[in-house]
Amino acid sequence: MIIDGHSHVTLPVEAHIKAMDKSGVDKTVLFSTSFHPEVAEDAQGVKEAMYFLNDLLAGKKGSMVEIREKANAELVMAIEQHPSRYIGFGGVPAGLDLETTKQFIHDNVKKHNLAGMGEFTFGTGQVHLMENVFKSTLEFNNMPIWIHAFFPLNMQDIKAIAELAKQYPRTPVILGHLGGSNWLDTLALAKEIPNLYLDTSAYYSTFVLGIVINELPQKCIFGVDRPFGDIQLSLDALRSVAKTPDVAKAVLGENMAKLLKL
């Protein structure tokens, strides 16, 4: 079974399903989004979408709770259209008090049978905002947590995430994008900490991608990060650098299937 372990809702949903069919992807772990650069009519539209995202992440677009709720509703709608093809991870605002966090997870994630939480994206020095999310997983069946770990996170931030993973050893933590330019030290952490996994999306070097997946095939999870990545190009790259068919099989689906008990 081939699983894209990380893509966002892209519109129209049918075009995504068609692209999965064409490339032979059985299931996609789907994440919500608060902007849709893929529907922009031209480069100017994409720019506006990107600047909107920047403002959003900088807190200039109002309540993150409302934004997450709206994005989750869109996610749930997409999954309801294709329940056999999509598995959802729900967006949860970080930095809320424990009770509010639990309530949000209950209403937005648990109630809709989503399988995990993420993508968490924050600025450098903000990892402590994740504390209550981690604490909450104890009550939600140790639901996996997916954290963006490329720019602007630095190695200190990634180490702080690793510390949380150690404190909550039954909660799987997926670090996005191989840790970005900190891939070498991130790889060492994923080797050491049993519940820490690496997502392969947004690789900027296929040489690095090859080193990491062949060194730690049981802890790497294939991701496309649509709309930013392309399904077929990502599959081609992964298959091209995997040293054995078993490495490719593990990364392209088996690891995620095991993690989500599919």
CA distances from 104 to 34, 163, 171, 192 (A): 17, 24, 18, 32
* Nearest distance from C-beta of residue 28 to a copy of itself, angstroms: 16
Nearest distance, CB of residue 237 and a copy of itself, angstroms = 5
Query: Which two three-digit tokens encode residue 153?
Result: 């996170």
> Would you say 239 and 248 are in contact if contact means Cβ atoms under 8 Å apart?
yes
Which residue's CB is nearer to a copy of itself, number 28 or number 132? 28
Q: What is the smallest separation between the CB atom of 47 and a copy of itself, expressed in angstroms? A: 6
- Our CB check for a copy of itself shows the closer of 75 and 202 to be 202
Nearest-angstrom CA–CA distance, 213 and 240:
11
C-alpha torsion sign, points 168, 71, 30, 9: negative
Query: Please, what is the minimum distance in Å from the beta carbon of residue 153 to a copy of itself?
Result: 11
Closer of 25 and 117 to a copy of itself (Cβ)? 25
3-state helix, strand, coil in the chain (%, to 5): 50, 15, 35
Q: Which residues pair with 146 in a beta bridge?
A: 174
Query: Footprint of a copy of itself on this chain (CB under 8 A)?
Result: 37-38, 43, 46-47, 50-51, 150-152, 177, 180-181, 184, 202-208, 211, 214-215, 225, 227-230, 232-233, 236-237, 240-241
* Nearer CB in complex with a copy of itself: 172/210: 210
